[in-house]
């Protein structure tokens, strides 16, 4: 796998992001336990599982920073390779689950085939692609994924007519997904540490905003 080796600042930012995701996801998972017990909604189950997967993915990612910091020759290290592959699989799955949670009801109403298996297959496919060095191939697949996700979100936008950009959760997820794709691509294409750090910082802030909104919504309706 071709990767730009991150600097210490970038690793610190990655650690902050990983810890934000792990702690934030844990809070969301625990705090939505009661609402799930009461509704047993499938879309809420996907929503909660996506945060569980996020926490898992970034817990797996934490040791990779250790490998980089200890100046091990990372590209030839087998544990680093396995952890990286597991991270890409679980984080892709987490994002797909999160996006699917917003359209699951529509999916069921239209009696479309259960998309869970396809989602696992797609995440596995993403992992396979990262094993190749072909940048064009990775770009192509991620662009197709982006189109699919945009389509899903546009469907949701229709439902959320009149809501401001970030009032609709699916818009927020779409931006988060774009940042995720950017972060994968940037490690391969740009030498600019600043750009990569801005993307990391934006991802951290956006994730914090998702956690804040979950906690706010759990307090009940706005007066």
Partner 1 sequence: MSAKKRDKLEVIHDILQIIKQNGNQIKPTPLLRFSNLSSQSFALYEEELLEKKLMLVQMENKKKFYKITEKGHRYLDQYQMIRTFMQDFDL
Which of residues 44, 62, 189, 202 is near partner 1 by CB under 8 A? 44
Q: Provide, rounded to whole angstroms, the least separation between the CB of residue 20 and partner 1.
A: 19
Does 35 bind partner 1 (CB under 8 A)? Our answer is yes
Which of residues 168, 179, 181, 211 is near partner 1 by CB under 8 A? 168
What three-state secondary structure class fits 177? Answer: helix
Supply the DSSP symbol for 75. Answer: G
Q: What span, in angstroms and rounded, lies between the C-alpha atoms of 126 and 149?
A: 15
Q: Provide, rounded to whole angstroms, the least separation between the CB of residue 125 and partner 1.
A: 26
**Choices 11-19, 62-70, 162-170, 188-196 (CB under 8 A): range interacting with partner 1:** 162-170
Q: Are 48 and 29 in contact (CB under 8 A)?
A: yes
Which of residues 25, 130, 156, 204 is near partner 1 by CB under 8 A? 156
Q: Provide, rounded to whole angstroms, the least separation between the CB of residue 200 and partner 1.
A: 25
Query: Following DSSP, what letter does each residue of 155-220 receive, concatenated?
Result: HHHHHTTT--TTTSHHHHHHHHHHHHHHHHHHHHH---HHHHHHHHHHHHHHHHHHHHHHHHHHT-
Q: Provide, rounded to whole angstroms, the least separation between the CB of residue 126 and partner 1.
A: 24
Q: Both tokens of residue 138?
A: 């990775």
Q: Both tokens of residue 27?
A: 């809070």
- Contact residues for partner 1, defined by CB under 8 A: 32, 34-35, 37-41, 43-44, 47, 101-105, 156, 159-160, 168-170, 213-214, 217-222
């Amino acid at each position: 796998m071709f990767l730009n080796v991150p600097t210490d600042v970038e690793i610190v930012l990655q650690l902050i992001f990983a810890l934000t995701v792990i702690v934030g996801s844990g809070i969301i998972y625990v705090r939505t336990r009661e609402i799930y017990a009461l509704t047993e909604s499938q879309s809420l189950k996907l929503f909660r599982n996506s945060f569980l997967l996020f926490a898992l993915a970034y817990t797996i990612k934490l040791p990779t920073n250790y490998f980089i910091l200890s100046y091990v020759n990372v590209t030839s290290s087998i544990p680093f390779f396995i952890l990286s592959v597991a991270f890409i699989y679980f984080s892709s799955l987490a994002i797909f689950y999160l996006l699917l949670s917003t359209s699951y009801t529509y999916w069921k109403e239209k009696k479309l085939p259960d998309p869970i298996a396809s989602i696992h297959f797609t995440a596995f496919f993403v992992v396979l692609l990262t094993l190749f060095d072909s940048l064009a191939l990775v770009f192509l697949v991620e662009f197709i994924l982006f189109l699919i996700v945009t389509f899903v979100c546009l469907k949701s936008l229709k439902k959320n007519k009149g809501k401001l950009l970030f009032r609709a959760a699916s818009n927020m997820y779409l931006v988060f997904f774009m940042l995720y794709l950017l972060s994968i691509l940037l490690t391969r294409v740009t030498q600019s540490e600043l750009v990569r750090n801005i993307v990391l910082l934006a991802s951290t802030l956006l994730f914090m905003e998702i956690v804040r909104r979950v906690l706010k919504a759990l307090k009940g309706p706005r007066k």
